[in-house]
Structures are given as structure tokens and as C-alpha cells.
Amino acid sequence: MPLHVAIIMDGNGRWARKKNLPRAAGHQAGFNTTRDIVEASAKRNIHALTLFAFSSENWARPEKEVGLLMDLFLRGLKSEVGKLSENNVRIRFIGERSAFSEKLQAEMASAEKTTVNNNGLKLAIAVNYGGRWDIVNAARHLAQQVKNKEIEPEQIDIQRFGHVLSLNDVPEPDLFIRTGGEKRISNYLLWQLAYTELYFTDVLYPDFDDAELDNAIAFYAGRQRRFGRTGEQVTGEDA
């Protein structure tokens, strides 16, 4: 079983288009999928789930679409956090949140506070997130520590760098899923995906369900994770 799953939830717009519906309907349907996937992940004993909800590049969309995504986001937080917390889910947001409305920032902070002591599924939602932003932010943080004479430049290593990235409280994702058919990372978790198993499916996100999640998990179960070693080393045939 993958302990940490990271998903790019893509294909809402095309799903709506296929059905002759406005893009908003696609996002709403995607939201419903998310509710199911969070529940299904908790049931399958996945420890951490990281979802890409809004990228730093998504501001480039028409103002109307950005607005409705924000509305959906705000409504979603208001309606879901109570139940998620009852189900022991701990919620965190990663990304540059200062760009969001005060209201939304307050809801995000409140969701984190309400669920901070929960020890079930660790749900991270990436909003106004970009992998490059994350890395630059970490570099800036470390530079500041050097400037303050808290650390020496020589002390900056991979481990320390990883600690100042936004997903610093969970192991790196084991399984990455992108729905919607594109085979790209779109500036998602650039650092953390270094050794993640990548799964791409043509299924549009609103159609992604428990059975599709199980397909992705089955793909993962069939991989041999070698981390640079030989297959024989991994199976113990050549210790």
C-alpha cells in the first residue's frame, strides 16, 4: 500500500464540456469526487493524501472561473471540515495563501486549527501552490538562517532542505496520480516526486472513483522500487 498519495485532479473542464455543461459544473463534480476520494483513502489506510486544487499558474484563467473556484473552495471548507474532523482527518494547506481573500484565509486557518490534533489521514491541499515557489521559498529561508548566523552554508544538505519545504511533516509521496490524460507535472511537488511512482490515467477527475483509485494502487503494488539499486538487491537474491 502506498502510504502517501499525491493527486493532480485534472479534467473537470473537459468533463463538463463533454456533457455540454458549464465548466462550473465540472468543478462541482470534481469537488464531489474529492469528498469520495478522501473517504476512500482513509478507508484504505493511506496515511497522507496531497491534492493539487489550485496552482500558482491557475490565476491565468478567466476571472470568472477563478472566482467560482474560490467560491467553491470557501463553500467546501464551510460544509466539509466538521465531518472531516469527526473522521479524524487532519487538514493542512500548502501554497502561498496571502493571495487569497481574508475570508478564505481565515477559513483555511480555522480548518487547520480545528483538525490539528487529529491523528487519522493527513490531508494536504495545495492552493496557489507551485513546486518552484516551494523550492525558492526554502532557499530563501535557509539564506536567512545563514544571514542570522544560525547555520553555516556547509550545513545545508538534502535533509535540511527538505525540512523547510512545505510538505515537511510527511514522507515523500509513494504514488502520484494525474487524471485527465496529460502526462506532465505542471509545477506540482517538484522536489518531493524525485522517487515517486507516477500513474497517469485518461479518466477525467469527476469520473475518478474508488475503483479507479484501486487501479492506481494496483499499479503501484506492481512496481519494484529500486532507489538506484539492482532488482536482485531488492529481492534479496544478491545481498
Known catalytic residues are: 10, 58
Sequential DSSP letters for 143-173:
HHHHHTTSS-GGG--HHHHHHTSTTTTSPPP
- Measured at CB, which residue is nearest to Mg ion? 10
Binders of Mg ion in range 81-120 (CB under 5 A): none
What is the rounded distance in angstroms from the CA atom of residue 115 to the CA atom of residue 119? 9
* Residues making contact with ligand IPE (CB under 6 A): 8-14, 52-55, 58, 69, 180, 182, 184, 186
- Return the number of the residue (8 or 37) whose C-beta is nearest ligand IPE: 8
- Return the number of the residue (8 or 91) whose C-beta is nearest Mg ion: 8
Other C-beta atoms lying within 10 Å of the C-beta of residue 205: 28
**Residues 138 and 161: beta-carbon distance below 8 Å:** yes
CB of 125 to ligand IPE, least distance (A): 10
* Count of positions (residues) in the chain: 239
CB of 182 to ligand IPE, least distance (A): 6
- Measured at CB, which residue is nearest to ligand IPE? 13
Answer with the entry of Mg ion, ligand IPE, none that 206 interacts with (C-beta below 5 to 8 A by kind).
Answer: none
Instruction: Give the bridge partners for 70, in sequence order.
Output: none
Amino acid in the structure at residue 54: F
CB of 10 to Mg ion, least distance (A): 4
Answer with the entry of Mg ion, ligand IPE, none that 69 interacts with (C-beta below 5 to 8 A by kind).
Answer: ligand IPE
| Residue 10 within binding range of Mg ion, rule CB under 5 A | yes
- Return the number of the residue (65 or 151) whose C-beta is nearest ligand IPE: 65
Cβ contacts of 195 within 8 Å, gap of 6 or more = 172, 225, 227
Place of cell 493542512: 92
Answer with the entry of Mg ion, ligand IPE, none that 54 interacts with (C-beta below 5 to 8 A by kind).
Answer: ligand IPE
| Residue 69 within binding range of Mg ion, rule CB under 5 A | no
Instruction: Give the bridge partners for 122, in sequence order.
Output: 48, 90
**Residues 72 and 31: beta-carbon distance below 8 Å:** yes
- For the chain, the farthest-separated pair of C-alpha atoms sits apart, in whole angstroms, at 59
- Return the number of the residue (54 or 85) whose C-beta is nearest ligand IPE: 54
Place of cell 544538505: 157
Answer with the entry of Mg ion, ligand IPE, none that 166 interacts with (C-beta below 5 to 8 A by kind).
Answer: none
- Return the number of the residue (27 or 122) whose C-beta is nearest ligand IPE: 27
Other C-beta atoms lying within 10 Å of the C-beta of residue 58: 17
CB of 186 to ligand IPE, least distance (A): 4
What is the rounded distance in angstroms from the CA atom of residue 165 to the CA atom of residue 151? 17
CB of 104 to ligand IPE, least distance (A): 15
Binding site for Mg ion (CB under 5 A): 10
